[in-house]
Amino acid sequence: MIVRRSFLAVCGIGALGACHSPQSDWEHATRANTVAAYQTFLTQHPGDARDEQARLRIGQLKDEQAWNQAQVASTTEGYQQYLAAEPQGAHAQEARDQIASRERAAAFEAAQKANTAEALQAFVKKYPNTGEADEASAALKRLEAYRAELATAHNRRDADRERRELAKRFGKALPEVVILDPDPSDPEYRITSAPMTEQEADAACASLKASHHPCKVIQPGSS
């Protein structure tokens, strides 16, 4: 009994490290649940049966730390840094999704700012089947609401003949010549270009007028 009390007194006063067991140190590490605590356990007890578990927890904690930093930054660069540090991390796919979302948003903003048919078409081609693509397509339709009107006709037969002649004559300036059917506001068949931007329609009409053919820019369906 006296020897036991002396041993406990020694452990309590100056030799705590000597009294630690792998089990008690493991319990301490799991309570702390930090990278440093698990690394200390691995240093103190190399080859312990819980070695793999400790390394797994270290990897998980580092992954969570990197992910938390990425979320705090909430930028493309932040998520890229997470992937660089944890390419196989638990949040790798979400990081890639976040990057793709931000890149798509930036591309859409640039297309809107440019507000040209080329920019909007390029966006739709690169990011099809997205909400932004639907918005870009709608903007493109508004932008391409113009046509160069070359002639009119009272009936379909005359309109077909006129379309063929104009397509042959002005095929370089107007890759496509079409016929617009009459509507309640206009009983005439109209021979026009395909839809284009206002600038393109202006340029087409300028080219036709230079060849001494009448032309005007129209917006079918506009009030």
pLDDT per residue of the chain (223 residues) written in tens, 0 to 9: 444 444 344 454 444 445 678 999 999 999 999 999 999 999 999 999 999 999 999 999 999 999 999 999 999 999 999 999 999 999 999 999 999 999 999 999 999 998 888 899 999 999 999 999 999 999 888 888 889 999 999 999 999 999 999 999 998 888 799 999 998 888 999 999 988 888 889 999 999 999 999 999 998 866 5
Could you say which of 3.40.190.10, 3.30.565.10, 3.30.70.1070, 3.30.470.160 is the CATH number of the domain covering 145-218?
A: 3.30.70.1070
- The rounded distance, in Å, linking the Cα atoms of 93 and 87 is 9
Q: Where in the chain are the domains?
A: 19-90, 99-141, 145-218
Q: Pull the structure tokens for residue 67.
A: 């992910």
Q: Pull the structure tokens for residue 50.
A: 């819980």
- Look up tokens 């930093």; give the residue: 69
- 207 C-beta neighbours (distance < 10 Å), count: 16
- The rounded distance, in Å, linking the Cα atoms of 125 and 129 is 10
The per-residue pLDDT for 209 is 93
**Single pTM value for the model:** 0.59
Report CA-CA distances (Å) from 140 to 111, 121, 129, 130, 192.
10, 7, 15, 15, 19
